[in-house]
Amino acid sequence: MAKWADYCIFAVRFNTARTHIDRVKAFPDEGESLGTAVEFSRSEVVAAIKRGVTFVTTFKGANGNYQLGNSVFVIVINGSDYIKTVKDATEADNLDKLPEF
């Protein structure tokens, strides 16, 4: 398997108001396999992307293996950073409707 990104996000957690993702779970992409899951705060993901660290979403396919989702990037809307997979002006984090933890 070719390396997809530095990290593959597979689950999200929203803040209590459900307005933003506040944490994500991700696997380090080790090229031939995915490593042990780690957890990041939303601000850590934003800072990492701004430093050049790459993230994609991933999900379990019908065969039980993880499949490549979409690239994750930061968009600034009205002065706030959003982590998204869709380049739109919606003031909401969007990570492919990943499962919540």
What are the pLDDT digits (tens) for 51-88? 999 999 999 989 999 999 999 999 999 999 999 999 88
Kindly report which listed range (15-19, 28-32, 35-39, 56-60) carries the lowest average pLDDT score.
Answer: 15-19
Give dist(CA 19, CA 77) in Å, integer: 14
**CA–CA–CA angle 22, 51, 9 (5° rounding):** 40
Segment 15-44 shows an average pLDDT of 94
pLDDT grade, residue 1 (50/70/90)?
Answer: low
Q: Which position has the token pair 């939303």?
A: 42
Give dist(CA 27, CA 29) in Å, integer: 6
Residue 7 confidence (pLDDT) above 90: yes
Residue 9 confidence (pLDDT) above 90: yes
pLDDT at position 20, please?
Answer: 87
Residue 89 confidence (pLDDT) above 90: no
Q: For residues 85 and 71, is the Cβ–Cβ distance under 8 A?
A: yes
